[in-house]
Chains A and B, each alone.
Chain A
Amino acid sequence: MDYFAIETKNITKIYDEQICVSNLNMHVRRGTIYGLLGRNGAGKTTTMKMLLNLIEPTRGKILFSGKSLHENAKKILPHVGSMIESPGFYPNLTGTENLKIFARLRKIRNTEVIKSALELVGLSFEDKKLYSQYSLGMKQRLAIALAIMHNPDILILDEPINGLDPIGIAEVREFLRMLCKENGKTILISSHILSEIAMLADDIGIIEHGVLLEEGTIKDLEQKSNKHICFKVSNPEYASRLLSANFGISEWKVEDTGELVVSQSDLFMPDIIRTFVQEDIDVYKASICEETLEEYFKRITGGKGIG
């Protein structure tokens, strides 16, 4: 069995002259949750639409368990559950009636399947409320029920927690974790909320302007994030000269707050502190600072924060 449930090879999508996704190489490991993280308009939805064969890539190849999606769409898609952009259902029907339509299209005869899917997302099978009367949270839940109804091996969910209240978000998070860990499902989830992805995903891909900037496990990304030593001293200018002269440190800067920041994190701090004290410099604070995932995201996307 292939190691990757989903793999893309240099997929590119160009609309007119605008490049929406560029040479994207994504690797979603089987039985894991992959978080595709990016700002609004970064190319997450376009990527997911290509993965669901809703739009054709201009170039590149999409593989599901090593098989080309383009050539095997009819065999692959029945094993994929999806939710793309906002939920789409018939407003004149109830949630159950809507699911019955898609169950019929998928040739699912057993209504118990619909019932259990609805119960899993906290909706009632017997509810007579029309879809047009649903709240945004209920619509989102119904879309998730549709995605899981046919017990797919792979779930592709585009911003599934949009519109959910905090309790709903936590429920969906737990539910997705359970699907992955207990049922072995592979889940690809997109979001612009970093904290959500960090809490849920095993692997993260960071996309910006259609380019996948980083990909790896949470641990990989944490290791890649910058570490530095931060000193708060009485005379930062003199202290920095001492660092250069005694320890050969060339990468340092004095922040506006007066803190002396040294880029190297593998120095032996007691030696530095002893030198400062011997030279009559008062040391108020000495610590190793680590870049958060958000700061890391900011740095590699070269811009503002996210979520």
Chain B
Amino acid sequence: MVNLIICEFEKMKRQKIIPVIIALSTFFPLLVAGSIKLGMNGDESIRYLRMKFDFSYTMMFGYGMIFFEPFLLGILGTLLFFKERDADTFKNIKTVPVSTEKLILSKLVVLLIYSVVYSLINMLFLIFFTFLLHAGEPYDLLFKFMYSVILGVGICIASLPIIVLLIYFNKSYMISIIFAFFYCIFNWCIVGAASTDGIVPKVMNFFPVVCVMNWISGQLVDNIIRDNVSEEARALFASSFHTVCLLGVTTIVCLVLIFRFYKKWTR
């Protein structure tokens, strides 16, 4: 299995996705740190600066990761899962022999690694830009890095439905990118509907990406400096039990479907 994972990374050599991921990892932290800097009132107190950093941190989660990362993982998933189809290498792999299940799992592990790495790079760049622009004071970094890793894992699992769709439709790269884009828009819509009381919070938390977002918001709210968290906002937070169960079910259902569809077109 380790060999398969290493091979998946080697197959990505000379593909522009890696520089793209790094470039995108810098975009949201820069945007967030810049906007925080513009909104600062000149208060130099430690509490204020730390609160601003916490604000940057949660904003980066919201925009850079929860809504953008599924899109990025969709593109990456397309590259990973269409690789054998486009290069016509299934026959070489199957005659080694490598089972289709192991091949799929190795690709998903690579996707997970990329997700966590993207999450961590985002965090690193946020610290960097916060220092550079003096847009707050980074603190409690171990805790924040830990949640970045957890979020990377959570968002990767929550993005599996895109991978199912990509494999099911087995179309071009462009169609796959459109699918990934619409999945992100769909999640935005769910959040938007909740804010206008269109859907009750409990229903909203049955959508994996939104659930991860609401769970992590609940986890962070007691550990960062935030003023004025309303009771309505607290009602949106998903419990750990609910989140673990939902992500567990998502993983199982998506794995079954991915195995089924992938085997169908590699037969």
Contact = CB atoms under 8 A, between A and B. Distances in A.
Interface of A: 49, 52-55, 73-74, 77-78, 80, 82, 84-86, 88-93, 97, 100-102, 104-107, 130, 146
B264 interface: no
Interface of B: 3-4, 6-7, 10-11, 13-15, 83, 87-98, 267
Contacts of B88: 85-86, 88
Given A97-B10, A105-B4, A105-B7, A91 B95 contact: no
A58 B6 CA distance: 36
A105 B98 contact: yes
B3 A105 contact: yes
A62 B66 CA distance: 52
Q: Which 6 A-B pairs have the closest CB atoms?
A: A88-B88, A77-B97, A92-B14, A88-B89, A105-B96, A90-B87
Contact of B92 (A53, A80, A102, A104): A102
A105 B11 contact: no
Contacts of B93: 102, 105
Contacts of A74: 97
Contacts of B90: 88
Contacts of A91: 87
17 contacts: A52-B91, A53-B94, A55-B267, A78-B96, A78-B97, A84-B91, A84-B95, A85-B88, A88-B88, A88-B89, A88-B91, A90-B89, A91-B87, A102-B93, A104-B10, A105-B98, A130-B14
Contacts of A55: 267
A54 B94 contact: yes
Nearest to A107: B3
B3 A104 contact: yes
Contact of B91 (A54, A100, A104, A107): A54
For A80, A91, A101, A146, which residue has the most chain B Cβ atoms within 10 angstroms?
A101
Nearest to A80: B95
